[in-house]
Amino acid sequence: MLDVTAIRKDFPILSRKVNGKPLIYLDNAATSQTPQQVIDVIVDYYSNYNANIHRGVHTLSQEATDKYEAARHTIQKHFNAEKAHEIIFTSGTTHSINLVSNGFASLLKKDDEVIVSALEHHSNIVPWQMLCEKTGATLKVIPMNEEGELVMSDYSALLSNKTKLVFVNHISNALGTINPIKDIIEKAHNVGAAVLIDGAQACPHVKPDVQKLDVDFYVASAHKMCGPTGVGILYGKEEWLNKLPPYQGGGEMIAEVTFEKTTYADLPHKFEAGTPNICGGIAFGAAIDYMNTIGFNNIAAYENELLAYATKKLLEIEGLRIYGPDASGSKNKTSVISFNVGAIHPYDIGSIVDKLGIAVRTGHHCAQPIMDFYNIPGTVRASFAFYNTFEEVDTFVDALKKAVQMLS
């Protein structure tokens, strides 16, 4: 059981007011809040050992390097990667995906096929479209159904010996759907295709085991996991990372440079050109330590209770429709509720509840194909974290009722 009252004290922002009302933050799928324990790590870095890494013999540089590489090992252990150098620091999930898509531009050829799903964030669609335009490969899409789940029989039919890459999110940011990624990975490997899983929305709720999944690439962002913005990771199997060419050229990623020829550094530095977000990487490790102290099983159990409670309360509102899997006892959904009320525009609802101190997301959530499937302009999305409370859900539902009354 979580002591949510104690946990909330770790998050300074939760004590502030918005428009004269206590903040109720229900936009966690966009960015989670940051605990004081992680903020302290950021302040400590800039206060006590701010220096560039890997390059200096002086004390500050060595201290920063040790902390940065210790964070890499923390992340390796969390995701159960076999080797630390299979963890590449990036600026976030989008950067990680682009790094892989850029690398495959030299490996794909005309008439090769790549597969994405209908549930993807734009960050896991656009880079692959760009890759297909460069290489002449064909992009194919796993369709979704009305329940917001992938049609797995159609996925099986799409696979062939032409399939080289499959890209699917672990959890949909727009609907909260948990995809059957283990099955997706196995089927792709049966035809010799590599798989990249976008874990941005999954990592705040579950603890992925990349070796157990046997996934080729897995990507995530710190800011979804109680960490800072501007830093994330790419996990890649060593064999694949060795096949891909460097994404960027510059300092750190080289072994030797002459005007005649440059040779590249070993992993992970081959993909980490320039001065990285040193503080961000260190703070990412601290955020993972914080969440593991609470326990991901505890987090998932509590958030599932919040999800079920909020779903029941929201469905009491006349005309409200929730998109995606049914949350009553479903194991295929995480703590995201995407909904509309009648013909009311989601933006109008979001604007009114903001005046009452409640932060929700409105729009297409960078998942426009999903909105097109349902023939809607967007949704109101309430996304819950382990520091939210049942009382906040009640306040949100009351505010929503007021908004509906005003807008009807």
Q: Which residues are catalytic?
A: 366
CA 334 to chain centre: 13
Closest CA to 362 of 23, 26, 18, 19: 26
- CA separation for the pair 49, 194 (Å, rounded): 40
Q: What three-state secondary structure class fits 378?
A: coil
Closest CA to 353 of 287, 291, 399: 399
- Count CA within 13 A, CB hemisphere, residue 84: 8
Beta-bridge mates of residue 318: none
- Count CA within 13 A, CB hemisphere, residue 194: 18
Beta-bridge mates of residue 339: 322, 380
- CA separation for the pair 359, 364 (Å, rounded): 16
What tokens were used for 261? 């020829």
Q: What three-state secondary structure class fits 72?
A: helix
Say which amino acid occupies 404: V
- CA separation for the pair 198, 308 (Å, rounded): 25
Peptide bond into 268 cis (omega under 30): yes
- CA separation for the pair 191, 159 (Å, rounded): 7
Annotate 96-113 with b (16+ C-beta within 10 A) or e (fewer): bbbbbbbbbeeebeeebb
Q: What three-state secondary structure class fits 362?
A: strand
* Residue carrying structure tokens 């979704």: 144
> Please, what is the Cα angle at 282 between 288 and 72, to 5 degrees?
70
